[in-house]
């Protein structure tokens, strides 16, 4: 494929979401849910430089809605295999770095076609592996398709001649080079979209990577590797390893050949990675880059002029979509006191109307939290909520198999309370009363995080004030604070929410590139 591919591609458009109210698509999803059960109990190898490796020691991925159900068996790698994976990526880097950008982009476009063809299958596997509803899983796969399509086009743009100011007697040019070997450590909550986006952004930029998926969503990583092998990605460009995060991830982060670390996950782990990456290892010839997205304590602000029905709907959707297990989830609703009781009543009503159930059921809106550790943490914060607020909805674990916890709302929470300051990452919402909209903005900004936020108002001057003063990376005016689209809402936050890397934005590939300027004297 030639470097003029960028002129032949249509403009990027987002992948449409599936309408499951249509009988044909509902039937296709039901068939896929049945189809993927054939994969259960299968054992998946580690892949290093194309070699399939079994270690003799495995651990499992299981269904959080039915913990007795094993979805796959994965290899328990050790530090030696992690080091081998980094070295394999390093060996593959020179050839891949010199591969034309158009060729690298073509791999992503072919992968996009395969993901589209397997859309229901991948979404169905995700429903089982992490407990996403049909709509949430479909949106996750659509986002992965968007990343593949968007980053392919972006690399073509970055491979074109870059603008330079002319200067007499010189021929000058500037262009971009890849960095080297990357450690890719994605989360479980967007187990396909973020994994695909993080991996392929680095790969299309000319880097080689070692991918370690989250232990809760290894099947999604295995499916991605299958797709990239099917499109013919050269061996060693994408190396796939599973195992203990501390041991395997520690080698990936600290290896002297690792040039950058791309991480999405908890604040504490992200800060540890940043600290480790800042320390030069003997034999290391560069300053490592860290691209990190670390979560949030996101707020929705509602003033007295807002459409209260729309605001309450946005709060509930953002608080309890995928059980609140999104870094962008609304975990604080800050409402001015004159309409606080009205909004609270609407939030309670809408929360209690949510249907909890096994996510294989198309009617289920709320499923399980991801694992026992998460269940224990959410219940602990519900305990804090009883001390710090007034329980008005939910608050209990369901008496059924799986990690099901009711969507929970606490009213009258103080802005400084743990429930208002610490990330729960579960279906718990703190309702906070403010004196006026400026006081609400002060409360919203008073956390160490700065990822997403929403502001509901009918006053244009207030929306403008929120635009300027609500200190988050992604602010939504008169709509919910979740649901960023690739290319439309470049995603990433301020402060302890990460490095504001803006995934799905026009600057994102610069995280994986370095610029070179060349001057030739003429005349």
Rounded to 10 degrees, the C-alpha dihedral 213/216/222/225 comes to: -30
Q: Do domains 27-294+501-518 and 298-485 have the same CATH topology?
A: no
* Residue 523 pLDDT: 82
Which pLDDT score is estimated for 520?
97
pLDDT (0 to 100) of residue 4? 42
Q: What is the pLDDT of residue 108?
A: 98
Residues serving a catalytic function are: 293, 327
What pLDDT does residue 436 have? Answer: 98
The superfamily in CATH containing domain 298-485 is Aldehyde Dehydrogenase; Chain A, domain 2 (3.40.309.10)
Question: Could you tell me which of 190, 245, 216, 222 has the C-alpha nearest to residue 63?
Answer: 216
CA–CA distance, 303 with 91 (Å, rounded to integer): 57
> Torsions phi, psi of 242, nearest 5?
-125, 150
The label of the residue with tokens 């039915």 reads: 66
pLDDT at site 261: 98
Rounding to the nearest 10 degrees, give the CA dihedral for residues 312, 453, 14, 264.
-120
Q: Are 463 and 477 in contact (CB under 8 A)?
A: yes
Domain ranges of the chain: 27-294+501-518, 298-485
pLDDT, position 7: 52
Regions of the chain with pLDDT less than 50: 1-4, 6
Q: In CATH, what is the architecture of 27-294+501-518?
A: 3-Layer(aba) Sandwich (3.40)
């Amino acid at each position: 494929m030639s470097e003029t591919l960028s002129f032949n591609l249509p403009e990027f458009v987002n992948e449409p979401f599936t309408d499951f109210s249509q009988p044909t698509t509902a039937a296709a999803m039901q068939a896929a849910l049945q189809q993927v059960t054939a994969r259960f109990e299968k054992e998946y190898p580690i892949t290093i430089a194309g070699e399939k490796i079994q270690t003799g020691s495995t651990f499992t991925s299981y269904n959080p809605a039915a913990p007795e159900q094993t979805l796959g068996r994965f290899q328990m790698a050790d530090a030696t295999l992690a080091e081998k994976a980094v070295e394999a990526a390093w060996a593959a880097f020179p050839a891949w770095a010199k591969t034309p950008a158009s060729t690298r982009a073509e791999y992503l476009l072919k992968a996009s076609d395969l993901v589209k063809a397997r859309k229901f299958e991948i979404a169905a596997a995700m429903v089982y592996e992490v407990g996403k509803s049909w709509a949430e899983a479909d949106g996750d796969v659509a986002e992965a398709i968007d990343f593949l399509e968007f980053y392919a086009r972006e690399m073509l743009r970055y491979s074109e001649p870059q603008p330079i100011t002319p200067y007499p007697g010189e021929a000058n040019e500037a262009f971009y080079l890849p960095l080297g070997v990357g450690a890719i450590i994605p989360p479980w909550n967007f187990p396909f979209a973020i994994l695909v986006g993080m991996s392929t952004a680095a790969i299309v930029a000319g880097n080689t990577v070692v991918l370690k998926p989250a232990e809760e969503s290894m099947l999604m990583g295995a499916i991605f590797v299958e797709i990239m092998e099917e499109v013919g990605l050269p061996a060693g460009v994408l190396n796939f390893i599973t195992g203990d995060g501390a041991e395997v991830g520690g080698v990936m982060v600290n290896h002297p050949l690792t040039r950058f670390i791309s991480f999405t996950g908890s604040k504490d782990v992200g800060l540890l990675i940043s600290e480790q990456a800042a320390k030069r290892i003997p034999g290391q010839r560069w300053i490592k880059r860290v691209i990190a997205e670390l979560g949030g304590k996101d707020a929705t602000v509602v003033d007295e002029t807002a459409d209260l029905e729309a605001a309450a709907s946005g709060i509930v959707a953002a608080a309890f979509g995928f059980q609140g297990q999104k870094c962008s989830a609304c975990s604080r609703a800050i409402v001015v006191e004159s309409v606080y009781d009205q909004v609270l009543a609407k939030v309670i009503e809408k929360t209690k109307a949510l249907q909890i159930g096994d996510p294989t059921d198309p009617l289920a809106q709320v499923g399980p939290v991801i694992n026992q550790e998460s269940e224990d943490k959410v219940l602990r914060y519900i305990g804090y909520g009883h001390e710090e607020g007034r329980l008005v909805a939910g608050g209990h674990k369901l008496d059924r198999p799986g990690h099901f916890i009711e969507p929970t709302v606490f009213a009258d929470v103080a802005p400084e309370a743990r429930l208002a300051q610490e990330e729960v990452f579960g279906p718990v919402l703190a309702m906070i009363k403010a004196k006026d909209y400026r006081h609400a903005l002060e409360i919203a900004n008073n956390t160490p995080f700065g990822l997403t936020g929403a502001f509901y108002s009918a006053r244009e001057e207030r929306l403008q004030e929120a635009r300027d003063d609500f200190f988050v990376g992604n602010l939504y005016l008169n709509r919910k604070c979740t649901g960023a689209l690739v290319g439309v809402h470049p995603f990433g936050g301020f402060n302890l929410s990460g490095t504001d890397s803006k995934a799905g934005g026009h600057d994102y590939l610069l995280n994986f590139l370095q610029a070179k300027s060349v001057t030739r004297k003429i005349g």
